[in-house]
Amino acid sequence: MSAARTTLFRAAFTALDLARANRLLRRRAQGLGVILTLHHVRPWSGKAFAPNRLLEVEPAFLDETLSRARELGFDFVSMDEAWRRVTTGVSVRPFLHLAFDDGYRDVRDHALPILERHGAPATIYVASGFAEGQAELWWLALEEAIARASRVYFDAGDGEAVYQTGTPAEKAAAWSTIYWRLRAGPEEELRAEVRRLAEQQGVDSFSFARALCMGWDELQEIAADPLITIGAHTVSHPMLAKHPPETVRAEMAGSRDAIRQKLGLEAEHFAYPVGDRSAAGERDYALAAELGFTTAVTTRPGHLTKAHAATPTALPRVSLNGNFQTRSAIDALLCGTPFLMTDALARLRD
């Protein structure tokens, strides 16, 4: 997310709070419940260059979010119970479920004690290649490569150019150009280019999974907690929409098979890596249903409603974003006000 968009969103959350819009519009905006998406939960490092900060929140913010959700009358439920309420269309109180993507070790170390204190169930969506230390967290490798470099050479479409990366501002500008250019193209090229940039700076693209993600023994331990459900998240974390059907099937089924083999569990729920419109679409939703997943979640934002009973493998979620760790953001996201507004704008465009 660009600095300008981040500033705009912060201002919007503040404005909604000051106008008391969350309280006034909650009855219209809020659905049956919400699935909150998280990745890392850990103390903030204070890095000046942190383009992936949106993917991490501080433990205190997670604690505040759950406390505020209780104040607003939310039930904390399992994924199975959330889906039951969607299919029946009945939920006397709004429900909340937590979803942690990728299987990071800090979820065990920092998030789990908070979940236990609040009695809040969660699903950890595991990419089996991360658990085995054999898949790339390419977005972290790209960040580290740019962090180490004083300049990088990259072809953004008009021939190779040099990008100065000596200061945090220069690094952020280079990241924005390189990241979004690569995201727009084939994933094979993205991963190859990130690997090239990483190798130039002595960065091992595969080291991040080993350093940050829980292995199978650790996942076995956390899966024994009654609050935790294990879901599937592919093998190598690809943007599925960019790949042929046979690759998508193999990635989806492969992660479920690995969870069954390593943990003795049946992963009935699935999360699409990245999960936005560029990474998962109608074909992928159909394949998830064909493979027998009970639900599959996207990162398209929104609350769950009775209408989602018809689309079990295309469910929305709401991201807890590390760039917006404020009480006003919590209230807006839990009350659903931003989604009411974006839906209204979409109707106007149509």
Q: What is the pLDDT of residues 145-198, one digit of tens each?
A: 999 999 999 998 889 999 999 999 999 999 999 999 999 999 999 999 999 999
Kindly report, residue by residue over 115-142, the tens digit of the pLDDT: 999 999 999 999 999 999 999 999 999 9
Distance CA 151, CA 160 (A): 13
| Three-state DSSP state, 99 | strand
Same domain, 187 and 235: no
Residue 21 lies in a domain: no
First-last CA distance in the chain: 25
Question: Which of the four pLDDT bands, split at 50, 70 and 90, describes residue 91?
Answer: confident
Same domain, 125 and 50: yes
Residues 6+ apart with CB under 8 A from 342: 301
Residues 6+ apart with CB under 8 A from 151: 162, 163, 164, 165, 166
Question: Which of the four pLDDT bands, split at 50, 70 and 90, describes residue 7?
Answer: confident
Same domain, 245 and 341: yes
Same domain, 106 and 181: no
Residue 60 lies in a domain: yes
| Of 332, 310, 334, 311, the residue nearest 94 (C-alpha) | 334
Same domain, 51 and 100: yes
Distance CA 307, CA 36 (A): 19
Same domain, 174 and 292: no
Q: Is the Cβ–Cβ distance between 127 and 255 less than 8 Å?
A: yes
Same domain, 296 and 334: yes
Q: Report residue 121: phi and psi, to 5°.
A: -65, 155
Same domain, 131 and 237: yes
Q: Is the Cβ–Cβ distance between 213 and 131 less than 8 Å?
A: yes
Kindly report, residue by residue over 13-51, the tens digit of the pLDDT: 998 989 888 899 898 889 999 999 999 999 999 999 999
Domain span at residue 277 reads 31-135+228-349
- Mean confidence (pLDDT) of the chain: 95
Number of domains in the chain: 2
Same domain, 248 and 319: yes
CATH assignment of the domain containing 317: 3.20.20.370
Same domain, 96 and 232: yes
User: For position 350, what pLDDT does the model report?
Assistant: 46
Same domain, 187 and 268: no
pLDDT at 207 over 50: yes
Same domain, 304 and 275: yes
Residue with tokens 């390593």: 262
